Structure 1
Amino acid sequence: MLRRAFFRCVASVGALAMVGLGSAGAQEPPRLRPKEHYTVGFSQPGSASPWRRAQLDSIRAEAIKRGDQLIYTDAGGSADKQVADVNALIAQGVDLIFLAPRDEKLLIPAVMAAKSAGIPVILLDRTVNPSLAQAGRDYVTFIGSDFVEQGRRTAEALTKATNGNARIVQLEGLPGSSPANGRRKGFEDFIQAHRDMTLVASQPADFERAKGQQVTEALLRVHPDASAIFAHNDEMAIGAMTALEAVGRTPGKDVIVVSVDGTRTALQAIIDGKLLATVETNPRFGPVAFATMARYARGEPIEPWVVITDRFFDKTNAAQFLDSAY
């Protein structure tokens, strides 16, 4: 435990130092030379969830379609390993790195190492702390959803469904990740404007189904009068619904549940009346990621944030999109 904390501290200090060097040196990301085919690195924080697997499938399919070579790394849930993974991609001399950072701060050294090596980085689905690294200077761009808006939309749906009166348990995603930070902010900012929407407990469950169930079980013992649950992703929501059923409470009736991601399992739960709504986080990044890379290689200006448009699923449209969900 102490050893891990020490290395995280070292990584943070190193990140700050490298940001300073980057600011004093190159004021833009490394360029990408136009050529017919590229060797591209893709670093994911893990691949255990359906969302991560769908994203990987999309990236792989687009690489094959374009004739590019893809080198994939899976950090297995470790920020330290992901930094090492990026360093390994740098050592292999890839042309560009797609990076889905596990943590907003701890992956700064990886971003800066790639920049120093002359390899451009495009962030996918998660971003990094903007006070430490910036799009258009240290990396090319961030491609992803508006996490704050996702949180706001779930809060709005929950407020409407409960007539503005609920005792809410929040299951947070991975601490330090941009989706967890943004979704929490958007949700909490919205409910603060509604006096009877009370957040009684908020605890991380790391975007994992099993942890979502475990945390919900523990929180229900402390807050048996909870009437609503906001989960930062569908996997935790499914775990929460399992926990509710285990104590004889009916999801969708006794406790209203909302979440984020838009998985097939979540859409089926909406159809079954267990889940009120989920805000989509589209995992199919392949086409937009490689198209953005191609634009950058042509020398086109790239916006600092390539926004992914997300749909909203509830009982009015869940059946319509079930077959196309991942």
Structure 2
Amino acid sequence: MLNVLLRTLGQGLCLSLSLVAGAQAASVVFLNPGSASENFWANYSRVMQAAATDLGLDLRVEYSERSAERALRQARAVLDGPQRPDYLVLVNEQYVAPEIIRLSRGKGVKLFMVNNGLTPAQTSSIQAQPGKYAPVLGTLTANDEEAGYRMLREMAALLPRSNEPVDLVAFAGVRITPSSQLRENGMRRALADLPQVRLRQVVYGGWSRERAYEQAQLLLERYPQVQLVWSANDEMAFGAMQAFEEAGRKPGVDAIFSAVNSSPEALRARIEGRLGVLMGGHFTVAGWAMVMLRDDARGLPINPDGRSEYSLPVLKSVDPAMARRWLKLQPKGGYGIDFKRYSAEGRAADYRYPFLTSPVDY
């Protein structure tokens, strides 16, 4: 009898191991709107891959090289290909999302959006034609408006106390990208609190160092007394810095610069004081998206509160100490974050992802 029992247990164990070994990881394709050579988007992909590996997801990244046409071609190839993924993660860069959502209808691929969500007008249009579009499982974006606001407020706080007017120029990203719009809106909101700051001009640098460099040369000719240079990303800030340096102006001394992103160059510039204000941390959205997709793949509810769109408090002011810490953590890909720890698996029914409402330390 004991031998029979042992044999039965052994057979059951072998069957269980076979089922586990044969189980396939949920597959994810991320349509990255940038290029592998861009610090932000390359780092974004690294964080996403670190989280996917930690969580047992099969991730593939496709870079669209800042081309809306290429992004749409890639989406069609993914959705019409012989091996469709379980999930397609996309970004509403240059307003490409509605067309990809339309192409996804009936394909059996779940959609998830990160970094740039739908605009209110796009949402209204899609809701008015529900039979034309696929559903979107969820959307995670950063607190971009708040970041734009805090950047200018912190820049102004670095100025000497005076009632004299101070000239500001601003480098926004792309007119038709929600994160750029929100950061600019935050900057303009801060202006209402800072009557001494005069916004001379906003230019759209397209996230490009080279373009911002050329624009900054012209802005310096028009407004030679500029003391504040607000930039929606680090590449544009460095392009503007180059123009200022060539004009004999020292960043951090003769003018205060700000930026968003946490590339190694930006972190070093913050440590050195060339960047007076730096906002970073939104790369973690990539990892939090993977947590939610892994839970969904396991049949767990990822929006028990009924919401599907969240603006996460991930963008924060990076001081020199934090910059030094992030420089050490970057090579780890996932910044040392234990993504499994934040899963809903094994939690109570009322569990809420903490990263949706509170900053996570790392």
Q: Does TM, scored on the shorter chain, surpass 0.5?
A: yes
1:1-326 pair list within 5 angstroms: 36-47=24-35, 48-92=37-81, 93-103=84-94, 105-133=95-123, 138-162=135-159, 163=161, 165-297=165-297, 298-302=299-303, 303=307, 304-305=309-310, 307-315=312-320, 317-325=322-330
Contact 1:234 1:259 in 2 (8 A): yes
Question: What is the SS of the residue equivalent to 1:275?
Answer: coil
Amino acid at match of 1:73: E
1:223-245 deviations in whole A, cap 9, x for unaligned?
A: 11211100001111111111111
Contact 1:166 1:196 in 2 (8 A): yes
In structure 1, how many angstroms separate the alpha carbons of the residues matched to 2:320 and 2:63? 35
Question: What is the SS of the residue equivalent to 1:190?
Answer: helix
Question: What is the SS of the residue equivalent to 1:62?
Answer: helix
1:291-324 deviations in whole A, cap 9, x for unaligned?
A: 1112333241424216152331134654454423
In structure 2, how many angstroms separate the alpha carbons of the residues matched to 1:306 and 1:37? 28
Cα distance, 1:84 vs structure 2: 1.8
Question: What is the SS of the residue equivalent to 1:131?
Answer: helix
Contact 1:141 1:306 in 2 (8 A): no
Question: What is the SS of the residue equivalent to 2:96?
Answer: coil
Q: Which residue of 1 aligns with 2:345?
A: none
Question: What is the SS of the residue equivalent to 1:133?
Answer: helix
In structure 1, how many angstroms separate the alpha carbons of the residues matched to 2:281 and 2:73? 27
TM-score scaled by length of structure 2: 0.74
CA RMSD of aligned residues (A): 2.4
In structure 2, how many angstroms separate the alpha carbons of the residues matched to 1:267 and 1:67? 31
Q: Which runs of 5+ in 1 are unaligned?
A: 1-34
Contact 1:44 1:101 in 2 (8 A): no
Contact 1:40 1:95 in 2 (8 A): yes
Same amino acid, percent of matched pairs: 19
Change (3 A) 1:306 1:231: closer
Change (3 A) 1:281 1:111: farther
Amino acid at match of 1:148: E
Amino acid at match of 1:277: V
Question: What is the SS of the residue equivalent to 2:207?
Answer: coil
Contact 1:262 1:325 in 2 (8 A): no
Aligned length: 291
Contact 1:155 1:190 in 2 (8 A): yes
In structure 2, how many angstroms separate the alpha carbons of the residues matched to 1:236 and 1:325? 22
In structure 2, how many angstroms separate the alpha carbons of the residues matched to 1:227 and 1:284? 32
Q: Which residue of 1 aligns with 2:358?
A: none
In structure 2, how many angstroms separate the alpha carbons of the residues matched to 1:234 and 1:80? 25
In structure 2, how many angstroms separate the alpha carbons of the residues matched to 1:320 and 1:281? 13
